[in-house]
Structure 1
Amino acid sequence: MSVRPLLAHGRLAGLDEIATIGVDATRGGYSRHVWTPAEFELREWFVARATGLGLDVETDRNGNLWAWWGAPGQDAVVTGSHLDSVPGGGAYDGPLGVVSALDAVARLQTTGFRPSRPVAVVVFAEEEGSRFGVACLGSRLLSGAIDADSARALTDVDGVSFADAAASAGLDPAHLGRDDDMLARIGLFIELHVEQGRGLIDLDAPVAVASSILAHGRWRLRVTGQGNHAGATGMRERRDPVVAAARAVLAVEEAALSTDDARATVGRLRIVPGGTNVIASAVDAWIDARAATDEATRALVADIETRAQRAVAGSGCSVDLIEESWSGVVRFDRDLAARLSGTLGDVPLLATGAGHDAGVLSGSVPTAMVFVRNPTGVSHSPEEFAEAADCVAGVTALEALLRSVL
């Protein structure tokens, strides 16, 4: 067993080990998408780090990695997170939870601790949804929260299907989908994650336990017009979907501003065909919408659609809104959250607007989350950060929680 120092260069040693993998020279930060060279390299790092601790690593039918301390079995305590990133993402979203889980296990081992239940560290696949458009895809497939046929048909920007990408990663696409055997092994899942917001800054606390996750989903707004020549088509003769889409994007913001505690974001646009001297024929705008309840989120999206239709009226263009993913509000088990908070000295309970694998799995198995303070309050960006002392506090908290349930 190889026990490494907890800190290196002012942060967790494990984060330092992967700091050069998937660096995005164009966007800044990291681009580590599922089953791409950078993500494969991260998987190799995880296997090496886990086996160095004497853990046995397996890949499940949906591409999730499991590192077992002792023999796999039912009623297991599972911890971990994900290694993939958004385009140009930060260093902590996902990897902090994986590195902290490995460090917590290592610290337990060095004290001679012997767990009374099976223990596993997990890495979920495609948590960000940055390649195939559906967030938490590995945990959704595991739990049956997404239909396997729908997942197989997903495509990336290059037209590669999820089924083909899975096959290239050594999986059998026919076996993708709900995994009752693996689900039956999970007695409790605890996910540690850097906070994506300012809650812990305002509370002046290094760690917190999650209480809830906002309802959220992704929709594709398609504005269709008429492709034509940029020089030969007069301004009043055009059915330009780019102009219409610009008005629709403003309508998205207006809808969110008119709804209490709502968030709506257009983070990605695709112009077809995308030529400088071409009037586009269509524009796709992807919308992330979130609100406090399922009903409020659905109402927000309905308002967005109505406002978008109104915004493009008279342009000669049409608008369609297509749902691509949906996650209802998650309220983590209050008794479990309170017990874990008490174990850590009554740390705060904190709601979040960010989705997580723990939220997806909460409908199938008991789950909980620990947040580590982010002093910038910024995430999904190179500015995402966590102080070394807070990262160590997170590992210490996770170790204490594992001791309390093992």
Structure 2
Amino acid sequence: MWAELLPVGRDEATGGYHRFAWTPAELECRAWFLDEARRRDLDVEHDANGNMFAWWLPADGSRGDAVLTGSHLDSVPGGGAFDGPLGIVSAFAALDDLRGRGVTPRRPIGIGAFAEEEGARFGVACLGSRLLSGAIDPARARGLTDADGHTFAEVMHNAGFDPEAIGPDDGLLARISCYVELHVEQGRALDEPVGVASAIVPHGRWRFDFAGEGNHAGTTGLSDRRDPMLPFAHMVIAAREAAERNGTVATVGKIKVVPGGVNAIPSSVTAWLDARGPLDDAVRRTVKDVDEAARVAARPHRVSVDFAEESYTEIVDFNLALRDRITATLGGVPVLPTGAGHDAGVLSARLPAAMLFVRNPTGVSHAPAEFAEPADRLAGVEALTAVLDDLTRG
């Protein structure tokens, strides 16, 4: 299974992956998911938000009180191979392991593939699980646009979904007793093959729009310029300084410059800030400091600044009883927090959720160097198998 997915959406020059939601590469991954589900005679289901589910039903065909696992198939620009797909490949392998042991589930076991988890195409992370759980207004989601100006509603329609039907699915959520997501660890905090998540730290995304005046780079004097690139540059430095001051992390990893000519002063610059930290107040202070610094830097250049929050998630403490049960099942593996957002964090507002981490020896994620050793991957499958076996017994 892993070998089949590896080439899909991979840049041969960099080794990074480009699997944006509903692009050909991600659609190929979706087709792979459906093939694997049907190969195992699993019951396949799509919700209205583009999330996919494959169910192993008990002998009586009941659908309630289900245990769900899985992850996502999309990637960030130039991302690694393991972020997302590892959880889905491991889930199929765990089901195979359970069947090989002759286990007959007393309740349904599901594998979920959530849509647009990274937010790389439409700007809102965990969009599929946010829609499913009611964490985002469907009207806002329909209006989200990608870099080419295509709306989420348009893309959903072209993929065969009804954009007017997106939103919370309380009936589906009511059938799920808990969600356990396996994921590659995205730092160097885990020194054993497998760990369990305690919490997801607060994190969010904010957009800064700097508007100036486009003009000729060679004939416009410095005093006549309204160059939005200058306050933007101050904003990037301010983000680092604010993060250091408040004990957080802050990143400006995406910008859009208009018109983008070498010999043209930009008319506008749009920049996205990612900020995360151990406490909500610290993250909010960081963003406030960056906003204030950007506005101060913009005034002498006669540039306007607009600021908007695109998404924010407060600290997520995973269900304590479920976490402790999983940790005990696995014999006391390490328990650690994470600075990365996940569908499990979004779904935890509606049902008990937990996460398993598989060791990443490079400590690198969202980049080609992201990695998990084969032995650790197999340890992750064994751990997930044990957890699913325990949870479906009662």
TM-score category (smaller protein): over 0.9
Amino acid at match of 1:37: P
Aligned to 2:200: 213
Spell out structure 1 runs of 4+ moving beyond 3 A. Answer: 25-28
| Aligned residues of 1:84 and 1:125 also touching (Cα < 8 A) | yes
Aligned to 1:136: 126
Q: Aligned to 2:246, what secondary structure does the other structure show?
A: coil
Please give the per-residue CA displacement for 1:25-68, whole angstroms capped at 9, x wherever unaligned.
46531100110000110011111111111212121110000001
Q: Aligned to 1:21, what secondary structure does the other structure show?
A: coil
Deviation at 1:310, TM superposition (A): 2.2
| Aligned residues of 2:8 and 2:28 also touching (Cα < 8 A) | yes
**How well do the aligned residues superpose, as a CA RMSD in angstroms?**
1.1
Q: Aligned to 2:300, what secondary structure does the other structure show?
A: coil
Aligned to 2:174: 184
Amino acid at match of 2:123: G
Q: Aligned to 2:98, what secondary structure does the other structure show?
A: helix
Deviation at 1:325, TM superposition (A): 0.7
| Aligned residues of 1:104 and 1:396 also touching (Cα < 8 A) | yes
Q: Give the Cα separation in 2 of the matches to 1:311 and 1:239.
A: 12
Q: Give the Cα separation in 2 of the matches to 1:105 and 1:53.
A: 9
Aligned with 1:108 (options 86, 95, 98): 98
Q: Give the Cα separation in 2 of the matches to 1:225 and 1:27.
A: 35
| Aligned residues of 1:248 and 1:312 also touching (Cα < 8 A) | no
Deviation at 1:24, TM superposition (A): 2.2
Aligned to 1:166: 156
Aligned with 1:343 (options 312, 320, 329): 329
Alignment of 1:273-284 (within 5 A): 273-284=259-270
Deviation at 1:138, TM superposition (A): 0.3
Please give the per-residue CA displacement for 1:190-210, whole angstroms capped at 9, x wherever unaligned.
00000001111xxx2111110
Aligned to 1:225: 212
Q: Aligned to 2:210, what secondary structure does the other structure show?
A: strand
Aligned with 2:230 (options 243, 256, 264): 243
| Aligned residues of 1:72 and 1:119 also touching (Cα < 8 A) | no
Q: Aligned to 2:270, what secondary structure does the other structure show?
A: strand
Q: Give the Cα separation in 1 of the matches to 2:15 and 2:62.
A: 39
Q: Given the superposition, is the C-alpha separation of residues 167 and 26 from structure 1 closer, same or farther in structure 2, using an over 3 Å criterion?
A: farther
Runs of 5+ unmatched residues, structure 2: none
The answer as to 2:284 corresponding to 1:294 is no
Q: Give the Cα separation in 2 of the matches to 1:197 and 1:32.
A: 22
Q: Give the Cα separation in 2 of the matches to 1:339 and 1:157.
A: 43
Aligned to 2:295: 309
Amino acid at match of 2:259: P
Deviation at 1:319, TM superposition (A): 1.6
The answer as to 2:76 corresponding to 1:86 is yes
Please give the per-residue CA displacement for 1:251-305, whole angstroms capped at 9, x wherever unaligned.
1111111112x11100101001112221111100100011112222222211111
Q: Given the superposition, is the C-alpha separation of residues 78 and 72 from structure 1 closer, same or farther in structure 2, using an over 3 Å criterion?
A: farther
Q: How many residues were matched structurally?
A: 389
Q: Given the superposition, is the C-alpha separation of residues 26 and 173 from structure 1 closer, same or farther in structure 2, using an over 3 Å criterion?
A: farther
